[in-house]
Structure 1
Amino acid sequence: MNIGDKVRLLRAKEQGVVSRFLPGGMIEIEIEDGFRIPVMRSELVPVSPLEAERLLKTSTYAPQKTVTPSAPVILSNQGIYLAFLAINDREYTLHLINNTDWEFPYVLGEESAGVGGGVQFRGIHSGLLKPKSQQKMNDLYAHATFETWPTFVVQGLWFRAGKSSLRQPLLKRFKARTTTFFKNKTTVPVLNQPGFLTQLDAETDEQPQASTSSNHGTQPQPKRINPEDLKAEMFKSNSDAGSVSVERPAAVVDLHIEELLPNGAGNRNSAELLKLQLDTFEKMLENAIASGMNDITFIHGIGSGSLRTELHKRLGHHPNVKFFEDAQKQKFGYGATKVTIK
């Protein structure tokens, strides 16, 4: 039996072409529609030339061909941030971050009280942020003068080449508040460094660290505090925060649409269904990591291969994934992936 030979299964109706020899006495065959399945060698028999001729007259089987799946494009529409990173125990650098898939032409400046009680604007930087990029500003902000920090103003547009929906320009003001700013130290997107973060393009205006306004009215004055208290808060361990309960997922997570939507997919299109599968995958993986699991298996099926390809792409770049591999081949074929967590 050689690669390219026509074979059929002893206990099933499927027939196909030998595409690869696998360890453990397994053979991968390609059946109709380009699907490949692993089968025990003892379960296969070669198709004789005469039998093959008769099968070709009654079967719709087509010769092996390469199929390039057209996976729906998953776009990130939100993720514009202002981030403050500590460079020492006295100063911060300001960064504007674009964690979306759009180009973001922007203007960034400061508003502060001017002479006579008015508002004075000072431009800091302007430019174009490419998708998944950031811009470091030159100004340094001292925690000793935190209570006099200005109101930061970001104006931006959205651009993507080709056809896309028209988006309204972004105009956001951010005023750091002592009651919330230092309680939300997190990993900053794109930079992957610890810092203090506020999202400017969230759907809701109730951002924990930001005070936004659509006019140039007088900004409320922040509460005056001792700079030493800020310093102590800045270096406070994240473990001091209240514990967060994380639901431990099952050891095997089925991502098939019929499992995620038992009542049917409704009017959802293929892109929306793929996004649901990827969101479920991300949530279950993060919960597995947070709850201390050693490994987790995702059943994604074979299909066109777009879901499996996207999962493997994301797993290959995940910092908490030790390695991943095709799981339980005899049970799932190549339709499941086992992830080993660091």
Structure 2
Amino acid sequence: MNIGDRVRLLRAKEQGVISRFLPGDMIEIEIEDGFRIPVMRSELVPVSPLESERLLKTSAYAPQKTVAPSAPAILANQGIYLAFVPVNDREYTLHLINNTDWEFPYTLGEESAGVGSGVQFRGLHSGLLKPKTQQKMNDLYQHAKFEEWPTFVVQGLWFRAGKSSLRTPLLKRFKARAATFFKNKVTVPVLNQTGFQTQLDAEAINANPADSGQPATATKPQKTTTIQPEDLKAEMLKSKSELGGISVERPSSVVDLHIDALLPNGSDKRTPADLLTLQLTTFEKSLENAIASGMHDITFIHGVGSGALRTELHKRLSKHPNVKFYEDAQKQKFGYGATKVTIK
């Protein structure tokens, strides 16, 4: 048995395709709707090509077929996506999607930092995506190791039979960032499953209208500004004291978020929701000022309590692009009631 072979279970009706081999003589198979289940090797039987052709329904792994259009239609010139579809709450599968009316020969690989040798490239897959199709890669990307995900590199060409415009080859690098990656869950085109995606060819069309096969539209002439030499010289010689600046208040290295510290005169008639908003606003302002003023780290005292405030702070810190890492701070002093944040 090899990865990609179709198999069925001896004691059940399920059948699927081998996706990977697991320890302990277990095999993971992918059944309908993309679900993967582990099965003992002894419980699986290979499905012969003849049996698969005559008795089993056509699978998503069947060769792609092209149908010649009966009449000219408006072309979809944009729609190359990298999509990450959750298999469960821990892992994602990677898909390359062609939602255009062009054939798309491609290569896909990963760039990662090597040990003392700069950037290393690893090829993952190559092939030809027909219009309105997708290709799933075998690799599973773990949520817990999100920060270690590589930079994905996609190279591709555009092809249509017959007369068409010449389009610039596509070369795109994509590095997932927590601050933007998890913001929006969408229904992935072609695949019609919920996931996270990035469009690879959005800039290509805008950068060169001729690439789209559509006529370029007239653009308004840009207004030019003339700078006189004497004005430029005067600006360069202006003293620093004359230049306006933004003053950033450097926060304390330890910020107490307890209500009695933030409101020493009492909380008056504020609701619990108002008090939580005050704590989070103070946290956000202190963190941003610490980053802007060049601090190496800052500690927030949030207390133990129900743990709701600590959970919310850690959630926001995990998505912040300027946070290197965070940890429970000075347990002998604060217990588990404080978090130390190290800034990049």
Alignment TM-score > 0.5, same fold:
no
Per chain length, whose mean CA-contact separation is higher, i.e. which structure has more relative contact order (CA < 8 Å, sep 6+)? 1
Alignment TM class, shorter chain as reference: 0.3 to 0.5
Normalising by structure 2, we get a TM-score of: 0.39
Normalising by structure 1, we get a TM-score of: 0.39
